[in-house]
Each structure stands twice: as C-alpha cells, then as structure tokens.
C-alpha cells in the first residue's frame, strides 16, 4: 500500500480541506463565518458543504436568532475520524519524503 493511499479524495479540494480545518477546532461555525474565513462565494461554499454532508462528515444546524434564520455547521464523529486519518496520511507522506 502506497503512502498516498491513506489520503481521502473528499479533502482534495482546498475549500473542503478549509471547511474541515475550521470545523475540527470549533464547536460550530455559521455559513457567513466560513464564507469569510475561506474567501469563497456562497454557491461555491454551498456545493462543498453539500458534498461533505452527503459523506456524513458534517451536520447542518438551522435555527432562528431572533427573527433571522441562521445556518451553522458541526463536524460529525465520522468527519473527525476521516479528517484525522487524512492528516495522519499527509504527515506520513511528509515524513517518507525526507
């Protein structure tokens, strides 16, 4: 088995990598914060969030704050495991190329 076999294709995109990086260190993050942090458009962010949601790597939480709708995202246990495995594979790849 090659070192790169441990890399998860779901995180090939820098935007998905960014989403997961933000979520793994925060309890939850709202859409606008993710959009500003990653400097992406609404549509671009939404499509990557949908892809990660389909893989069960994040959960969407919709609520109202006052009368305004608010959408936030949380990383799932499966998402944490998959992302940590991806990071471990990246680390192994870096160590193997020394």
Element (H, E) at 60: strand 58-65
Residue 1's pLDDT band, with cuts at 50, 70 and 90, is: low
* CA–CA gap between residue 94 and residue 89 (Å, rounded): 9
- The pLDDT, as a whole number, for residue 93 is 87
pLDDT tens-digit readout, 76-90: 999 999 999 999 999
- Alpha helices for 25-76 (secondary structure H): 31-38, 42-54
CATH, range 3-93: 1.10.10.10
**pLDDT for residue 63 is more than 70:** yes
pLDDT tens-digit readout, 22-56: 999 999 999 999 999 999 999 999 999 999 999 99
Domain boundaries, given as residue ranges, for the chain: 3-93
Identify the DSSP state of 87: H
């Amino acid at each position: 088995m090659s070192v790169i076999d441990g890399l998860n294709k779901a995180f090939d995109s820098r935007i998905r990598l960014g989403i997961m990086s933000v979520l793994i260190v925060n309890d939850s993050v709202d859409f606008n914060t993710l959009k500003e942090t990653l400097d992406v458009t609404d549509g671009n962010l939404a499509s990557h969030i949908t892809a990660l949601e389909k893989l069960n790597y994040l959960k969407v939480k919709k609520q109202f704050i006052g009368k305004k709708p608010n959408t936030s995202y949380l990383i799932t246990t499966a998402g944490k495991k998959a992302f940590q495995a991806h990071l471990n594979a990246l680390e192994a790849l870096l160590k193997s190329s020394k």
